[in-house]
Amino acid sequence: MIKYFGPKFKLLKNLEISYLPGFYSKYLINSFKNLTKINKKKTNYSYILKEKQKLKFNYNLTDYNLKKYINITKLKKGVLSLNLIKKLEMRLDYTLVKIGFCISINQAKQFINHEYIFVNKILIKLPSYILKSYDIIHIKVKSKSIKTIIKNNLRYFIKLNWNYYFNLYYQICIKNFKFKILRPIYSRESLLKLNNLLLMNTYNKI
The pLDDT of residue 49 is 80
Q: Which domain holds residue 154?
A: 91-184
Residue 195 lies in a domain: yes
Cβ 120 vs Cβ 136: under 8 Å: yes
- Total count of domains within the chain: 2
pLDDT under 50: residue ranges of the chain:
31-32, 35-38
User: Do 98 and 180 belong together in one domain?
Assistant: yes
Residues 57-89: tens digit of each pLDDT: 888 888 889 889 988 888 888 888 888 888 999
Residue 103 lies in a domain: yes
Residue 167 lies in a domain: yes
**CATH number for the domain that contains residue 78:** 1.10.1050.10
The pLDDT of residue 195 is 73
User: Do 104 and 29 belong together in one domain?
Assistant: no
**CATH number for the domain that contains residue 118:** 3.10.290.10
Q: In three state form, how does the secondary structure of the chain look?
A: CCCCCCCHHHHHHHHCCCCECCCECCCCCCCHHHHHCCCCCCCHHHHHHHHHHHHHHHHCCCHHHHHHHHHHHCCCCCCHHHHHHHHHHCEHHHHHHHHCCCCCHHHHHHHHHCCCEEECCEECCCCCCECCCCCEEEECCCCHHHHHHHHHHHHHHHHHCHHHHCCCCEEEECCCCEEEECCCCCHHHCCCCCCHHHHHHHHHHC
User: Do 71 and 111 belong together in one domain?
Assistant: no
User: Do 74 and 132 belong together in one domain?
Assistant: no
User: Do 12 and 77 belong together in one domain?
Assistant: yes
The pLDDT of residue 99 is 87
User: Do 21 and 71 belong together in one domain?
Assistant: yes
Residue 2 lies in a domain: no
